[in-house]
Structure 1
Amino acid sequence: MSDLKTSIIYYSATGSVYAMAQAAEKAAEHAGSEVRLRKVRELAPEEAIASNEGWATHARQTQDVPEATLDDLDWADLLILGAPTRYGMPAAQLKQFVDTTGPLWGAGKLVNKAATAFTSAATAHGGQETTITALNNTFYHWGCVIVPPGYADPIQFQAGNPYGASHTSNNGQVPPGQLELDAVSFQTRRAVEIARALKVGLASS
């Protein structure tokens, strides 16, 4: 059994965030963490999804990915959230899931967990940083310890986002490349390292 548990909870419409979530999953497992990869529930009507070929295809391809529950948050030592940008904020699907966490928050179940976030946007200045900092606002309320990637690895001087891994999809036409996947992998490894140190430190205090 691993000494650390990581929940990666994401929303993805056409697959960019899902690809990043998969990279995070592999990186966390390679770093020795047990991992749950979970999507949040889709809120859009079926006719809206069907009207977009990429959206419909991705929905079919990921239909077997388990949906996130509050237990996935309670279970984990490290929380990794991923969502596309919507007007500079996280997509409503992930926000709706976050809004159900009141029982855990009220019971202090999320305090002292490590947390980090990543995103994808359609355009180069489409709100990547504001989406991540908006997710950080949730972590503040939960009492988490936020782990940003910073510029703690050479990959960050290429990726360029110290808040969290981000991707520009060019309106859904460009999937995450190796640079973006390497950036989210580094972010995940760093978060696992800090979460492990935090867990050990709290246990010995």
Structure 2
Amino acid sequence: MSVNLAIIYYSSTGTNYQLAEWAAEGAKQAGAEVKILKVQELAPESAIASNPAWKAHVDATKDVPVATPDDIVWADAIIFSTPTRFGNMASQMKQFLDLTGGIWFNGKTINKVVSAMTTAQNPHGGQEATLLALYTSMYHWGAIIVGPGYTDHSIFTAGGNPYGTSVSVDQNGKMIEDVKNAVMHQAKRTVTVAGWVKNGQA
């Protein structure tokens, strides 16, 4: 029984999109059916146009589907990826979560297996706080949170965040830590646990 995994991200200049792609690679290796979905952009066109890297990424990912609550209903598991904004998730991601009230009310978020990833400009820029804030919403969903913990050596190489893979990004938009293997491990672990839950419910 394969696991349906939705990887839902927000990315302004591409880092979280790259994390989502690595997560998809790991999840597919674990046998999951995967959708990569972006949340709706809320920033005005003028703000996007003023930043060449932001505009380039928006154009490059114009064909990535926008996530809807129906994608949560379809999914057995969800991996979120969001940049840190003042120690919290990006407003675009928060709005998406706020739009899930209908499916939450109807019990459609219960027992979804959830994990999350994040990015910031430096290691103490709110990465852990962002993941914990996102997970707070997941407790309300009745979701099952699967953090990577210290279940694989790749987590230490990536900086050792037990709540979810996080990466620092320099002024040129380049990732500082080597996190690809940690992201893939986190995705595989999420799919594995979701398989246990799905088979148990069956």
TM-score under structure 1 length normalisation: 0.95
- Name the SS for the 2:179 alignment partner: helix
Letter in 2 for 1:101: T
Root-mean-square deviation (CA, aligned residues, Å) is 1.2
Structure 2 CA distance, aligned partners of 1:81 and 1:67? 13
Q: Which residue of 2 aligns with 1:17?
A: 16
Q: How much has 1:202 moved relative to structure 2?
A: 1.8
Q: Aligned pair count?
A: 201
Describe the shift of the 1:197–1:48 C-alpha distance in structure 2 as closer, same or farther (beyond 3 A): same
Deviations 1:154-178 (A, max 9, x none): 111222111100110024531376x
Letter in 2 for 1:162: P
**Does the 8 A contact of 2:8 with 2:80 survive in 1?**
yes
- Name the SS for the 1:65 alignment partner: coil
Letter in 2 for 1:67: V
1:168 corresponds to 2:168: yes
Structure 2 CA distance, aligned partners of 1:29 and 1:118? 18
- Name the SS for the 2:92 alignment partner: helix
Structure 2 CA distance, aligned partners of 1:90 and 1:8? 15
Letter in 1 for 2:170: N
**Does the 8 A contact of 1:110 with 1:142 survive in 2?**
yes
Structure 1 CA distance, aligned partners of 2:21 and 2:173? 19
Structure 2 CA distance, aligned partners of 1:172 and 1:39? 23
Structure 2 CA distance, aligned partners of 1:171 and 1:202? 46
Q: Which residue of 1 aligns with 2:28?
A: 29
Structure 2 CA distance, aligned partners of 1:173 and 1:14? 8
Q: Which residue of 2 aligns with 1:112?
A: 111
Describe the shift of the 1:44–1:33 C-alpha distance in structure 2 as closer, same or farther (beyond 3 A): same
Letter in 1 for 2:129: T
Q: How much has 1:124 moved relative to structure 2?
A: 2.0
Structure 1 CA distance, aligned partners of 2:26 and 2:32? 9
**Does the 8 A contact of 2:115 with 2:164 survive in 1?**
yes
Q: How much has 1:29 moved relative to structure 2?
A: 1.1
Q: Which residues of 2 match residues 152-167 of structure 1 at below 5 A? A: 152-159=151-158, 160-167=160-167
Segments of structure 1 that go 5 or more residues without pairing to the other structure are none
- Name the SS for the 2:185 alignment partner: helix
Letter in 1 for 2:16: V
Stretches of 4+ aligned residues off by more than 2 angstroms: none
Describe the shift of the 1:88–1:154 C-alpha distance in structure 2 as closer, same or farther (beyond 3 A): same
Segments of structure 2 that go 5 or more residues without pairing to the other structure are none
Q: Which residue of 1 aligns with 2:84?
A: 85
Q: Which residues of 2 match residues 32-51 of structure 1 at below 5 A? A: 32-51=31-50
Q: Which residues of 2 match residues 63-142 of structure 1 at below 5 A? A: 63-142=62-141
**Does the 8 A contact of 1:16 with 1:176 survive in 2?**
no
- Name the SS for the 1:55 alignment partner: helix
Letter in 2 for 1:137: T
Letter in 1 for 2:17: Y
